[in-house]
Chains A and B, each alone.
Chain A
Amino acid sequence: MRGLGEVFITLGVVILLFVVYQLYWTGVLADRARADEMHKLDEARKRIGATVPKDVPVAQAPAAQAPYEDGEPFGTMYIPRFGDGWYKTIRPGVTPKELQKGLGWYKGSAQAGQDGNFAIAGHRKTYGDPFLNVPKLQVGDKVVIEGITEWFVYSIDKPVSLPGDKAVLKTVPEDVHVLDPVPAKAYTAPGKYITLTTCEPEFGSTHRLIVWGHLESRTPLSSGRPAALQG
């Protein structure tokens, strides 16, 4: 009987340790991964940025973007609503492995700044809780992407399917039409959109939270941080 008790106590301790791992340690891992990703991004910006002519007004004729490469981060996301210290890196793919390193881009969706829907997934909890505060997003909030050569500023919209001034849609995981080039629940006309997805409730996976926005501006990195990130 005593042996059995010890087994139960041991299991309890292991489960407690797993909670520590999920809530705390994955955050440490995510911070380390983000530092790696930022380093890669810096390198890419130096390497590719050097080949971009500085004085050409990119906004008039945006250069064709290179396709995103697997395993390579292609940008940093800033959301002023989440606080000054909040920034996360984005890489292609939304498998658990990729989402452990930051935000994930749905392969097959549009790239940043393109026509269609630039779709991004992030953890609500664990791995640095990147999208913990998605429910706090409001219509008009900015989502800023610092790419390899350009800034992209998106502005959160009110989805046509939601009443009042609500910006965040709650839906089920199978509702993949939220990623359509023109998501019918948010827009009626084509455009350059962004979609953020995360899970709901915080520790569950029964539902998803969706936020949409449209491209507001696109400027070369050399022109400096966009107004949305200042002040």
Chain B
Amino acid sequence: MYGWIWRTLPGNVWVKLLLSLVLVLAIVYALFTWVFPWAEPLLPFSDVTVDQDNVTNTTGPGGAPRPAGATSATSPSSLPGGLPG
């Protein structure tokens, strides 16, 4: 694979070297910009919270009414997920 790329690149050794460098940088850029941000949520390293869906919508004793937007689940155990980590 790498041998084929090297042979395919045009020019003398120095031009080939320069083009290789540009290729490598382009690939690393693509990985950091698109591939890794895409792959990241598929891995468990960034699960850091208890699931917000599990925040109950009840008004606790002395608690303020929860603002709109909160889910109205009353039984956290019935919900998937958990605290984000």
Interface string of A146-177 (1 = CB under 8 A from B): 00000000000000000000000001111111
Shortest Cβ gap from A71 to chain B (Å): 13
Shortest Cβ gap from B38 to chain A (Å): 11
Count of inter-chain pairs, beta carbons less than 8 A: 178
List residues of chain A with CB within 8 A of the CB of B60. Answer: 116-117, 180-182, 190
Interface size on B, residues (CB 8 A): 42
Q: B85: nearest residue on chain A (CB-CB)?
A: A199
Is B25 at the interface (CB under 8 A from chain A)? no
Is A124 at the interface (CB under 8 A from chain B)? yes
Q: A203: nearest residue on chain B (CB-CB)?
A: B45
Q: Is the CB of B57 within 8 A of A94?
A: no
Asked if A3 meets B1 with Cβ closer than 8 Å, knowing A22-B45, A25-B32, A106-B55, the reply is yes
Q: Is the CB of B63 within 8 A of A108?
A: no
Q: Which single member of B32, B41, B79, B84 contacts A104 (CB below 8 Å)?
A: B84
Q: Is the CB of A99 within 8 A of B55?
A: no
Could you tell me the distance between the alpha carbons of A94 and B85 in the complex, rounded to whole angstroms? Answer: 10
Asked if A108 meets B67 with Cβ closer than 8 Å, knowing A21-B31, A121-B83, the reply is yes
7 further A-B pairs in the complex, CB-CB below 8 A; given A18-B39, A108-B71, A205-B45: A18-B31, A107-B69, A110-B63, A117-B60, A179-B54, A182-B62, A190-B60
